[in-house]
Amino acid sequence: MAETARQPFIDEFPEIVAFDKRYEEWNSRVSYFKKNDGIPGGRISIEGEEKINFSTYNYLGLNGDKRINDFVKNAIDRYGTSVSSSRLLTGEIELHEMLEKKIASMLGTDDAIVFVGGHSTNVNIIGNLVGPEDLIVHDALAHNSSIQGCILSRAKRMHFKHNNMEHLEGILQRVQGKYRRVLIIAEGVYSMDGDICDLPGLIRLKKQYGALLMVDEAHSFGTLGKCGRGVTSYFGVDPKDVDILMGTLSKSAASCGGYIAGSTSFIRFLRYNSPGFVFSCGITPPNAAAAYKAIELFEEDPERIERLHENSEYFLKGVKALGYDTGLSADSPVVPIIIGDSVKTLEMSQELFKRGVNALPIIHPAVKEDEARVRFFISAAHTREDLDETLEILTSLRDKI
Ligand SMILES: Cc1ncc(COP(=O)(O)O)c(C=O)c1O
């Protein structure tokens, strides 16, 4: 019998060996995977200690809301915890249609379709809508899920300088006529910097150069515009001017999943053809129910969105007044404090934690070394005391970092 070659063990892969080493170094400094016990709101209980919480994107404080919990419990009693099939086959339940209709009517699009994960929604949609004859031009700060979608698609990929319409226009001019399709990808609110895309500029360019426009509303759905209708409502533009409106259900909507909203034919095409939809189990009854009820509450309870805006403005103003660099953050619930050095950023996050504030470090390679930062997600669940206490702690740390 022929001798079989020795297969390398997974644990011997160079990237795994290198990570083992890095992990040892880090572990003393960063406590990722901290266990929290309870609902992550304005405060959070981590390993038995209460902290003021800025590291979860429960923007509207709807996670744990009794109205949502009750609705979810009823859905579980009726449908169980899984639909146990692709929706195309036997997994469709009324809640799916209710949720998709709600998203579409709220955003002002013809229709919407819901996927089981936000990240996988981007990978799926971008990965299958364009191909090797096409070009994707995305913002330099595009989220990993969009980049993974670009790679899967095998389309040519370029990026334009962050939110820079002149640079984007230069690219669109240069590539005119060279590709079958050109897809521009931007985000409603950028998750690292907390600034808002120049949607009117993107729409003007997309129309002028015959490109498609996709906007990821992970952080703008529920947080911007009238009743949280997102970035199109914030700018007062026609939602139908954006070909693909993408969003996640894991942030303001207190659930898990992703959606694509767009034209009737496009969404119908996805329902029958999108691999991540057709060959995947449908979103679970509890997740669909939570998102449905949360979105209903965006409209029924708009004071939450006002409170989120007030909190965000108050905190940003306070942090700026202390002389910290908050970068581009404006009008959004994402407030970074840019430290510009990974080690100091880790130290600052640790120091905050010791003093009762949970705000996580974003370090190289997630951002450039000179842009390392501690990021604060603001929530409607924060009280004025939470914010003031944090500002006081930041005052005491100002000269130490
Ligand atoms: C801009 C953006 N898009 C997509 C996602 C993925 O969403 P999810 O966490 O719901 O999978 C995220 C996650 O934070 C995000 O920030």
User: Are 227 and 257 contained in the same domain?
Assistant: yes
**The tokens of 385 are what?**
């005391």
Q: Whose CA is nearest to atom 9 of ligand 1?
A: 118
User: Are 162 and 277 contained in the same domain?
Assistant: yes
Note the pTM of the prediction, 2 decimals: 0.96
AA letter at 166: E
User: Are 174 and 54 contained in the same domain?
Assistant: no
What distances in angstroms separate CA 78 from CA 72, 93, 307, one per listed residue? 10, 10, 34
Pairing of strands 212-216, 244-248: parallel
CA of 173 to the centre of ligand 1 (A): 31
Q: Looking at residue 340, which CATH number applies to its domain?
A: 3.90.1150.10
User: Are 54 and 174 contained in the same domain?
Assistant: no
User: Are 55 and 178 contained in the same domain?
Assistant: no
Note whether residue 6 is domain-resident: no
User: Are 51 and 75 contained in the same domain?
Assistant: no
Distance CA 82, CA 85 (A): 8
AA letter at 147: I
247 CB within 6 A, ligand 1: no
188 CB within 6 A, ligand 1: no
Structural contact between residues 352 and 342, judged by C-beta atoms closer than 8 angstroms = no
Note whether residue 7 is domain-resident: no
Task: Give the mutation target among 145, 196, 256, 287 for probing the ligand 1 site: most ligand atoms within 8 A of CB.
Answer: 145
Distance CA 326, CA 194 (A): 9
Q: What are phi and psi of 253, to 5 degrees?
A: -85, 10
Number of domains in the chain: 2
CA of 182 to the centre of ligand 1 (A): 23
CA of 117 to the centre of ligand 1 (A): 9
Q: Which of 267, 300, 333 is the last residue of a domain?
A: 300
Q: Given 55, 145, 191, 280, which residue is catalytic?
A: 191
Structural contact between residues 298 and 222, judged by C-beta atoms closer than 8 angstroms = yes
Question: By three-state DSSP, how is residue 189 classified?
Answer: strand
143 CB within 6 A, ligand 1: yes
Note whether residue 55 is domain-resident: yes
Q: Which of 282, 300, 318 is the last residue of a domain?
A: 300
73 is catalytic: no
Note whether residue 2 is domain-resident: no
What range does the domain containing 361 cover? 12-59+302-397
Distance CA 243, CA 328 (A): 27
Structural contact between residues 195 and 163, judged by C-beta atoms closer than 8 angstroms = yes
User: Are 161 and 53 contained in the same domain?
Assistant: no
127 CB within 6 A, ligand 1: no
Note whether residue 4 is domain-resident: no
For the CA of 117, the closest atom of ligand 1 is 11
Note whether residue 117 is domain-resident: yes
Q: Which of 272, 300, 328 is the last residue of a domain?
A: 300
Q: Given 143, 206, 219, 382, which residue is catalytic?
A: 219
120 CB within 6 A, ligand 1: no
User: pLDDT tens digits for the chain (401 residues)?
Assistant: 567 777 778 999 999 999 998 888 777 666 678 899 999 999 999 989 999 999 999 999 999 999 999 999 999 999 999 999 999 999 999 999 999 999 999 999 999 999 999 999 999 999 999 999 999 999 999 999 999 999 999 999 999 999 999 999 999 999 999 999 999 999 999 999 999 999 999 999 999 999 999 999 999 999 999 999 999 999 999 999 999 999 999 999 999 999 999 999 999 999 999 999 999 999 999 999 999 999 999 999 999 999 999 999 999 999 999 999 999 999 999 999 999 999 999 999 999 999 999 999 999 888 999 999 999 999 999 999 999 999 999 999 987 77
Q: Within 10 A of 364 (CB to CB), how many other CB atoms are there?
A: 13
For the CA of 57, the closest atom of ligand 1 is 14
User: Are 41 and 146 contained in the same domain?
Assistant: no
Q: Which among 80, 64, 77 has a CA at the least distance from the CA of 255?
A: 64
User: Are 101 and 186 contained in the same domain?
Assistant: yes
Give the pLDDT of residue 2: 61
User: Are 157 and 238 contained in the same domain?
Assistant: yes
84 is catalytic: no
CA of 253 to the centre of ligand 1 (A): 13
139 CB within 6 A, ligand 1: no
Distance CA 278, CA 337 (A): 42
The helices-and-strands tally (H runs, E runs) of the chain is 14, 13
345 CB within 6 A, ligand 1: no
255 CB within 6 A, ligand 1: no
User: Are 171 and 210 contained in the same domain?
Assistant: yes
309 is catalytic: no
User: Are 256 and 113 contained in the same domain?
Assistant: yes
Q: Looking at residue 215, which CATH number applies to its domain?
A: 3.40.640.10
DSSP classification of residue 390: H
Distance CA 318, CA 376 (A): 13
Pairing of strands 135-139, 49-53: unpaired
What distances in angstroms separate CA 41 from CA 65, 143, 301, 375, 392, one per listed residue? 10, 24, 17, 16, 20
Note whether residue 348 is domain-resident: yes
Note whether residue 29 is domain-resident: yes
Task: Give the mutation target among 147, 248, 249, 260 for probing the ligand 1 site: most ligand atoms within 8 A of CB.
Answer: 248
AA letter at 163: N
